[in-house]
Amino acid sequence: MNNSADPIQAPPPSWFHRHRSKFAFLALSFAAAAIAVSCATSGTNRGFVLAPAIPGAEYVGSDACEQCHDTITKHFASAPHARLIAQGPNAVDVGCESCHGPASVHVESGGAARTILNPDRNPESCYHCHSNLRGQFALPHAHPVGEGRLTCSACHSPHSGDAFAGTASSLTSANEACLTCHKPQRGPHIFEHEAMREGCLSCHAPHGSVNQKMLTERNAVLCLKCHFQQQTGPGRIAIGAIDHTTFLSRGTCWSAGCHEAVHGSQVSSSLRF
């Protein structure tokens, strides 16, 4: 949604004001959904949660969207979500409405504003099925999705082809997606760290992590995944043919004075500075 602006920056203060009515509206519809959930679940122990929805709307099926959104419907068959099949009473055709909610009100109004959900404004529609991700984004170090700063669609394309932005079937394009926002990590660096070829995900969790900087491991274990640790004598440890015996107890490999330039360096082959 904010892809044209610098996505690293928080949206300007006016952003919330412009969208305030929508937030209020969505809050209302989620409240309605919550009430429906408690009614539906009373008397049973099933962990059944209704999808977020516009109050009063019903499912109409994806064919109804074609008339007005043909550029999206035309390519939708190539998206993984187009293969989803609903179960239960709404088994018509979940396609578009699995993420956008029941659309009868939207269709009948000819596409009036605020008659349909947009997951870019609230990722609850995604969490409805991917409920494990609500937890990932709530971890102490996570991408700020749902705070109005970053959306799922910054990294995932919902409507066509591979769900990963930049059709990331190759690692290079997976990195490209990250580098559109994280320019300092791009380089070019005179001294490359070859780990970058393996991709950002060899060290970072994409959604969130308990570790600082969304790292997959909190300490030297991160680096020792690839860098062999050798016992060169009684109590002596070498990494990359350099004696590291006393270094490892001083902190992480990338703390001050050691390999700070983990993404690549302009001055040092041992990736300092």
Site for ligand HEC in 97-126 (CB under 6 A): 97-100, 103, 106-107, 110-111, 116, 118-120, 123, 125-126
Q: Taking CB under 6 A as the rule, does residue 254 contact ligand HEC?
A: yes
Among 130, 218, 236, 250, indicate the residue that binds ligand HEC (CB under 6 A).
Answer: 130
Minimum distance from CB of 26 to ligand HEC (Å)? 10
Assess contact for 78 and 161: CB atoms under 8 A.
yes
Dihedral pair phi/psi, residue 14, rounded to 5°: -70, -20
Please check whether residue 51 is in contact with residue 33, taking contact to mean a CB–CB distance below 8 angstroms. Answer: yes
User: From CA 254, how far away is CA 247, in angstroms rounded?
Assistant: 11
Site for ligand HEC in 65-94 (CB under 6 A): 65, 67-69, 72-73, 76, 80-81, 84, 94
Q: Which of residues 190-209 bind ligand HEC (CB under 6 A)?
A: 193-196, 198, 200-204, 206-207
Q: Are strands 141-142 and 229-233 parallel, antiparallel or unpaired?
A: unpaired
The reply on whether position 19 binds ligand HEC by CB under 6 A is no
**Residues 26, 122, 259, 264: which binds ligand HEC (CB under 6 A)?**
259
Cα 196 from Cα 178, distance rounded (Å) = 12
The yes or no reply on residue 244 touching ligand HEC (CB under 6 A) is no
Residue 159 touches ligand HEC, criterion: CB under 6 A = yes
